[in-house]
A and B are shown apart, each in its own frame.
Chain A
Amino acid sequence: MSFTMTKHVTVVVVDVDGQLIVGNRQELKQKVLDELEKGERKFLIDFARTGYIDSSGLGVLVSLSKKIREQGGELRLANLNDDLKTLFELTKLDTLFQIADSRERGLESF
């Protein structure tokens, strides 16, 4: 399980490799908040290599979205597989986030 951050022009892209669950959610949160503190405002989380997300992981995404928006920024998501789409639909979080089918479309959406 790891989180890799790369900068694409003005967008910070976070790759979630493995699971986003109660045991590692704080690591993701802190990494994104550190970038926000440094002045970054556009974030795209790419789930192409993500297994599953639990409620704690979903909660961190909601929390980050709020904090980034408070600073005038935007958090968007990309590459949800069918399982993750089901999870977002069940919880109606698909109505809260802007979700792109691919990393490229996610980057273009900013």
Chain B
Amino acid sequence: MTPVRARMPHAPGGMGGPPGEGSALEGVRLALELEVPTDVRLIGRIVQLVSRQVRELEFPANVCSLNVPVALSEALSNAMLRGNEDDPAKLVRIRVLVDPTGLVLEISDEGGGFDLDECTQDPTTPANVTREDGRGLFLMRRLMDRVERYTESHGLGRNVVRLTIKRPPLAGSP
């Protein structure tokens, strides 16, 4: 199996927002960066790794078992199969930022990017519900609070999808 290279943890620049007073996680922040070759067989392991970190930082159970795994799996799948055209020589980078206010996942590939609104279909219409494809972006947008796509202005100008999910106040928060 192709290796996954990980770097963690360190205090990131931060997502802003005050930590919950009196919480066991007061001030706790996590940054995790992964760089992986394009290989869809790696997606399960990457999702497992990220979900485990998120679970330890007291996100609600369904966020750890549904929202994050499915949304991240979709973003990785898109990055590898569409952005990187399933080329194993191309890399996908994953950046995970967690602080008391929420979680941000940034998935970048070497593709030219896409228009998020134009590419998102509604798979629930009678015409689409029997289709085999077209549910990925829809699920990402339904399962996360915010989904954005942009092109990095520096370096190679990688295509980035950013997924954000807020969390309820931590126990002990005012």
- Whether B73 pairs with A52 at a CB distance below 8 angstroms is yes
- B62 in contact (CB, < 8 A): yes
- Taking a contact as CB atoms under 8 Å apart, the answer to whether B65 and A55 are in contact is no
Cα distance A82–B123 in the bound complex, in angstroms: 21
Q: Considering the complex, give the chain A residue whose CB is closest to the CB of B138.
A: A91
Closest B residue to A25 by CB, please name it: B40
Number of interface residues of A (CB under 8 A): 29
Q: Which of A1, A23, A24, A55 contacts B136 (CB 8 A)?
A: A55
Q: Are A1 and B129 also in contact (CB < 8 A) when A52-B69, A90-B142 are?
A: no
Q: Which of A8-63 contact B (CB under 8 A)?
A: 18-19, 21-24, 51-56, 58-60, 62-63
A54–B81 contact, CB under 8 A?
no
In the assembled complex, the CB of B132 is this many whole angstroms from the nearest CB of chain A, namely: 4
Contacts of B77 in A (CB 8 A): 21-22, 54-56
In the complex, the answer to whether B43 meets A22 with C-beta atoms within 8 Å is yes
28 contacts between A and B (CB under 8 A): A1-B44, A19-B44, A19-B47, A19-B73, A21-B44, A21-B73, A21-B77, A22-B77, A52-B73, A53-B70, A54-B77, A54-B139, A55-B136, A55-B138, A56-B136, A59-B133, A60-B132, A62-B131, A82-B62, A83-B62, A83-B65, A86-B62, A86-B66, A87-B139, A91-B129, A91-B135, A91-B138, A92-B124
